[in-house]
Amino acid sequence: MTATAERPSAPGPSARGPGAGLMPLAEYLAMVLRGLRPLPALDLDLTQAYGNVLAQDVVTPGPLPAFDHADVDGYAARFEDIGHAEPSRPVRLNVVGDLAASSWRPVRLTSGTCFSIAAGAPLPLTADVIIPSGDTDQGIASVEIRAAPKRGYGIRRAGDELPAGTVVAEAGAFVTPALVAVLAATGIGHIVVRPSPRVVVVATGDELVDAGRTSQPGQLVDVNSHALTAAAAEAGAHAYRVGICDDDPDGLRGLLEDQALRADLIITTGGTGTGPGDMVRRILSKVMVTFTAVSVYPGSSLGFGTVGNEEVPIICLPGDPGAALVGFEVLARPVIQVLAGAEPVFRPSVRAHLLETVHSPLGLREFRPAQVAERRGGGYTVQPLAGGPYTLTGMAEANGLMVLGERVTAAPAGSTVDVLLLDRRR
């Protein structure tokens, strides 16, 4: 079983005031998300772990660096032999050997001697300074030292960066390329992670046709399955576009049952309304999916539940492309983050000064596409973009979503509003 989910219930008939009959978005999200659990953890090879979330703390088994070594090319020496070297009074040392990064036998310096050494090579015993080649005559049998760096120059000691036993990453951390590098450097080859959720995207509707042509009366290009598959991938999921499912009840049931065998989350788009052609709502509301009128604009009709014997979570988004993308941001993306074990679940947000007066429908929490920018001297500004029926165009230009609460009907220029940052993955 990949996850558990509670079915959200519709608000009672006694709801009154602005947004009567609509469930507040915060309440709806809390109801959906508290019924989900992260996917079972996996032990993965380090090369396969990028993009996943750690399921447990990672402790370094050894120090970083693992041993004392040279950090620059040059000559390993004892500071007491070369500390007085100057261009006018150079010091000459005998070069008793060459050390490469592959050298492994322990060696020791004696008075008046040095080793030619490459960056990464183990440090000779008693050596406490590396003289860069540029400060010498680069001799082979003997070398003239013309300047003395400080004691310890060019040397990295074992554990300087991370002592053994350090918690280098905590559970919930996103595995980045840099973290992979640190883990490999400390001797870690496997880590325990939450797998990236497998998300299947299905578009529904007899009117839909594949991309590569333009819409015409009776035919609409399938925008949503392409857009939502990309959005799921951007959220960190393994995303799969199934394509178009006609308004055939048996076909939809069979498709969902089949996909439930291989998916951790299913997203459908279209058919969530109450019109005569809204087949998805009619079919799925009879099983384990609840459709709720939520105080979201655009696209207030959202469905959530489970399908199949494995009770795989399913999200049903509106058919309008702009509303589907907003629905993905407010519902599907947080669900993906919970399944992945990621923290935080929601996108980062900032408070920004509004550059233009906007109006918003009463009783609905509007998510308006916007351009957010940092101000010189600190803070942010936000420029609203096309919303409402033009949200799709606005989303293509946006790097943020401006949030206007249910009780906001107008936000004047100069006021401060919340903005979700779309250009930051986590």
pLDDT value, residue 212 = 83
Cα distances (Å, whole numbers) of residue 32 to 3, 10, 67, 306, 313: 12, 12, 51, 11, 10
Residues 268 and 300 in one domain: yes
Residues 316 and 248 in one domain: yes
Q: Is residue 102 helix, strand or coil?
A: coil
Q: Is residue 16 part of a domain?
A: no
Residues 96/99/105/106 CA torsion (nearest 10 deg): 70
pLDDT in tens, the chain (426 residues): 344 444 454 443 333 444 558 999 999 999 999 999 999 999 999 999 998 999 999 999 999 999 999 999 999 999 999 999 999 999 999 999 999 999 999 999 999 999 999 999 999 999 999 999 999 999 999 999 999 999 999 999 999 999 999 999 999 899 999 999 999 999 999 999 999 999 999 999 888 788 888 888 877 889 999 999 999 999 999 999 998 888 888 888 899 999 999 999 999 999 887 777 778 888 888 878 999 999 999 988 999 999 988 899 999 999 999 999 999 999 999 999 999 999 889 999 999 999 999 999 999 999 999 999 999 889 999 999 998 888 889 999 999 999 999 999 999 999 999 999 998 554
Residues 87 and 216 in one domain: no
25-33 vs 333-340: helix crossing angle, rounded to 10 = 30
Residues 230 and 331 in one domain: yes
pLDDT value, residue 314 = 96
CA of residue 163 relative to chain centroid, distance? 28
Full-model pTM: 0.82
Residues 125 and 176 in one domain: no
Residue 273 burial (C-beta neighbours within 10 Å; 0-12, 13-18, 19+)? middle
Residues 241 and 324 in one domain: yes
Site of tokens 């918690």: 167
Residues 185 and 208 in one domain: no
Q: Is residue 240 part of a domain?
A: yes
Choose the final residue of a domain: 279, 305, 340. Answer: 340
pLDDT value, residue 20 = 57
In which domain, by residue range, is 109 found? Answer: 69-156
Phi and psi at residue 235, to the nearest 5°: -80, 0
pLDDT value, residue 234 = 93
Residues 284 and 217 in one domain: yes
**Which DSSP string corresponds to 144-201?**
EE-----TTTTEE-TTSSB-TT-EEE-TT-B--HHHHHHHHHTT--EEEEEPPPEEEE
Residues 89 and 175 in one domain: no
Q: Is residue 162 part of a domain?
A: no
Residues 147 and 187 in one domain: no
Residues 148 and 233 in one domain: no
pLDDT value, residue 13 = 36
